[in-house]
Chain A
Amino acid sequence: MADAASSLAPKPEGATGVLVLSDGHVVWGRGFGHVGEAVGEVCFNTSMTGYQEVMTDPSYAGQIVTFTFPHVGNVGVNEEDLESIVDGAVGCIVREDVTLSSSFRSAGEYGQWLADKGKVGLSGVDTRALTRRIRMAGAPNAVIAHNPDGNFDIPALVARAKEWPGLVGMDLAKIVSREIQEGWEGSTWTLGTGYGAGEGSTRPHVVAIDYGAKDNIFRNLVKAGARVTVVPAETTLEDILSLEPAGVFLSNGPGDPAATGKYAVPVIQALLDRDIPIFGICLGHQMLGLAAGATTSKMHQGHRGANHPVKRLGDGVVEITSMNHGFAVDNTALPDNVEETHVSLFDGSNCGISIRGKRAFGVQYHPEASPGPQDSFYLFEKFVGMLG
Chain B
Amino acid sequence: MPKRTDISSILVIGAGPIIIGQACEFDYSGTQAIKALKEEGYRVILVNSNPATIMTDPDMADATYVEPISPEIVARIIEKERPDAVLPTMGGQTALNCALALFNDGTLEKYGVQMIGADADAIDKAEDRQRFREAMDKIGLSSARSGVAHTLEEAFAVLERTGLPSIIRPSFTMGGTGGGIAYNKAEFEAIVRSGLDASPTTEVLIEESLLGWKEYEMEVVRDKHDNCIIICSIENVDPMGVHTGDSITVAPALTLTDKEYQIMRTASIEVLREIGVETGGSNVQFAVNPKDGRLIVIEMNPRVSRSSALASKATGFPIARVAAKLAVGFTLDEIMNEITGATPAAFEPTIDYVVTKIPRFAFEKFKGAKDDLTTAMKSVGEVMAIGRNIKESMQKALRGLETGLDGFNRVIALEGAGRDVITAALSRATPDRLLNVAQAFREGFTVDEINAITHYDKWFLRHIEEIIAEETNILQHGLPIDAEGMRRLKAMGFSDKRLATLAVRSVGVAGGLGETQATRSGLLHDALRAMAGATSEKEVRQLRRKLGVVPVFKRIDSCAAEFEAITPYMYSTYEAPFFGEPEDEAAPSDRRKVVILGGGPNRIGQGIEFDYCCVHACFALAEAGYETIMVNCNPETVSTDYDTSDRLYFEPLTAEDVLEILRVEQSRGELVGVIVQFGGQTPLKLAQALEDEGIPILGTSPDAIDLAEDRERFSALVEKLGLRQPANGIARSRDEAVAVANRIGYPVLMRPSYVLGGRAMEIVDSEQQLDDYIATAVQVSGDSPVLIDQYLRDAIECDVDALCDGEQVVVAGVMQHIEEAGIHSGDSACTLPPYSLPADIIAEMERQAEALAFGLGVRGLMNIQFAVKNGEVYLIEVNPRASRTVPFVAKAIGQPVAKIASRVMAGEKLESFPPFKRDLPYMAVKEAVFPFARFPGVDPVLSPEMKSTGEVMGIDADFPTAFAKAQLGAGMRLPTEGTVFVSVKNSDKPMILPAIRTLIEQGFRVIATSGTQKYLADAGLPVELVNKVAEGRPHIVDRIVDGEVSLIFNTTEGWQSLKDSQSIRASALTAKVSIFTTAAASVAASEAIATIRGSQLEVRSLQDYYS
Contact = CB atoms under 8 A, between A and B. Distances in A.
A68 B560 contact: yes
A124 B576 contact: yes
B783 interface: no
A128 B347 contact: no
B226 A131 contact: no
A290 B1012 CA distance: 96
B1106 interface: no
Contact of A128 (B225, B253, B262, B554): B554
A127 B575 CA distance: 10
B583 interface: yes
Given A135-B564, A307-B350, A309-B333, A75 B257 contact: yes
Contacts of A108: none
Given A81-B259, A369-B262, A372-B262, A29 B576 contact: yes
B579 A8 contact: yes
Given A102-B459, A131-B562, A318-B333, A71 B347 contact: no
B252 A48 contact: yes
Contacts of A105: 257, 259-260, 293
Contacts, number: 204
Interface string B574-589: 0111111011010000
A345 interface: yes
Nearest to B295: A191
A14 B252 CA distance: 31
A78 B576 CA distance: 32
Contact of A104 (B293, B352, B353, B559): B293
A74 B560 contact: no
Interface stretch (A92-100, A176-184, A237-245, A269-277): A92-100
B886 interface: no
B255 A12 contact: no
B334 to A, nearest CB: 10
- In this complex, the member of A27, A69, A189 whose beta carbon has the largest number of chain B beta carbons within 10 angstroms is A69
Interface string A59-84: 00000000011110011001011000
Interface residues of A, number: 69
Contacts of B265: 373-374
B346 A318 contact: yes
B262 A374 contact: yes
A191 B265 CA distance: 14
- In this complex, the member of B252, B254, B352, B562 whose beta carbon has the largest number of chain A beta carbons within 10 angstroms is B562
B482 interface: yes
A53 B225 contact: no
Given A47-B350, A102-B255, A307-B350, A68 B561 contact: yes
Contacts of B352: 46, 68-70, 127-128, 131
Contact of B333 (A46, A70, A316, A372): A316
A375 B270 CA distance: 11
Contacts of A324: none
A49 B256 contact: yes
Interface in B234-267: 252-263, 265-266
Interface in A351-384: 369-375
A301 B463 CA distance: 34
Contacts of A372: 258, 262
A102 B262 contact: no
Interface in B886-930: none
A301 B353 CA distance: 21
A320 B226 contact: no
Contacts of A320: 228-230, 347-348
Interface string B395-419: 0000000000000000000000000
B235 to A, nearest CB: 11
B563 A135 contact: yes
A12 B263 CA distance: 43
Contacts of A102: 255, 457-459, 462
Contact of A69 (B228, B351, B462): B351
Contact of A71 (B227, B389, B582): B389
Given A70-B354, A125-B576, A189-B259, A135 B562 contact: yes
Contacts of B457: 102
- In this complex, the member of A71, A130, A308, A369 whose beta carbon has the largest number of chain B beta carbons within 10 angstroms is A71
Contacts of B388: 70, 95-96, 128
B225 to A, nearest CB: 6
B291 interface: yes
- In this complex, the member of B255, B261, B295 whose beta carbon has the largest number of chain A beta carbons within 10 angstroms is B261
B389 A96 contact: yes
A191 B562 contact: no
Contacts of A101: 459
A44 B350 CA distance: 13
Interface in B369-415: 388-390
Interface in B188-239: 225-230
- Chain A binding surface, main DSSP class: loop
Given A68-B560, A318-B227, A346-B563, A307 B257 contact: no
Given A99-B463, A131-B562, A46 B350 contact: yes
A370 B575 CA distance: 31
Contact of A81 (B257, B290, B344, B564): B257
Interface in B702-738: none
A95 B387 CA distance: 12
A128 B257 contact: no
B562 A370 contact: no
Contacts of B184: none
Contacts of A247: none
A28 interface: yes
Contacts of B290: 104
B344 A12 contact: no
Contacts of B259: 80-81, 105, 189, 191, 370
A11 B331 CA distance: 51
Interface in A10-36: 12-14, 25, 27-29
A164 to B, nearest CB: 20
A103 interface: yes
Interface in B520-576: 554, 559-564, 575-576
B1053 interface: no
Contacts of B260: 105, 191
Nearest to A28: B576
B478 interface: no
B1018 interface: no
A14 B258 CA distance: 33
Given A12-B484, A14-B484, A28-B576, A128 B561 contact: yes
B254 A74 contact: yes
Contact of B255 (A9, A25, A44, A74): A74
A10 to B, nearest CB: 9
B325 to A, nearest CB: 15
Nearest to B344: A345
A371 B265 CA distance: 12
A71 B389 CA distance: 7
B349 A104 contact: no
Contacts of A311: 333, 346
A208 to B, nearest CB: 22
Contacts of A232: none
A316 B333 CA distance: 9
Contacts of A124: 576
Nearest to A131: B561
Q: List the 5 shortest-distance A-B pairs measured between CB atoms, nearest first.
A: A50-B258, A371-B258, A102-B459, A129-B583, A307-B348
Given A13-B484, A71-B354, A131-B562, 5 more contacts: A70-B388, A70-B389, A100-B462, A131-B560, A317-B225
Interface of B: 1, 225-230, 252-263, 265-266, 290-295, 331-333, 343-344, 346-354, 388-390, 457-459, 462-463, 466, 482, 484, 554, 559-564, 575-580, 582-583, 585
21 contacts: A46-B350, A49-B258, A50-B257, A70-B354, A75-B257, A80-B259, A99-B462, A99-B466, A125-B578, A128-B560, A128-B583, A307-B348, A309-B332, A309-B344, A317-B225, A318-B227, A318-B229, A345-B343, A346-B343, A372-B262, A374-B262
